[in-house]
């Protein structure tokens, strides 16, 4: 992986150079830099699709009753919100209405 020396963002191959999408820095692709990469299939730019949406569920789910809509399923994650010697806080988000609440151990 190539990183931009100006801003530290990952640079992607664009034609015959690596290009930073954030600041526009370009660096020529050398034989040494290409030895790290294996191209399995060439795809045209218009065919590349990146999904960025709240509709995509990547969190695990559990049975939990939403305090707002009474739905019986929620996504969950753990986050350290207090001191390191205390347990994490469990956050839950309703899969139906999106309401988020927390539980402590």
Catalytic residue numbers read 85-86
Say if residue 23 carries a ligand binding annotation.
yes
The dihedral built from the CA positions of residue 25, 29, 33 and 35, taken in this order, carries a sign that is positive
Distances (CA, A) of 12 to 17, 18, 60, 93, 103: 8, 5, 31, 34, 41
Say if residue 17 carries a ligand binding annotation.
no
Annotated binding site for Zn(2+): 4, 7, 20, 23, 66, 69, 94, 97
Annotated binding site: 4, 7, 20, 23, 66, 69, 94, 97
């Amino acid at each position: 992986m190539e990183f931009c020396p100006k801003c530290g963002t990952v640079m992607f191959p664009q034609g015959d150079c690596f290009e930073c999408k954030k600041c526009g820095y370009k660096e020529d692709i050398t034989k040494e830099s290409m030895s790290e990469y294996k191209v399995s299939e060439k795809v045209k730019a218009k065919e590349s699709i990146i999904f960025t949406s709240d509709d995509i569920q990547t969190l695990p789910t559990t049975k939990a009753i939403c305090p707002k809509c009474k739905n019986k399923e929620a996504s969950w994650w753990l986050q350290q919100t207090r001191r390191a010697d205390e347990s994490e806080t469990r956050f839950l988000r309703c899969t139906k209405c999106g309401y988020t609440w927390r539980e402590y151990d």
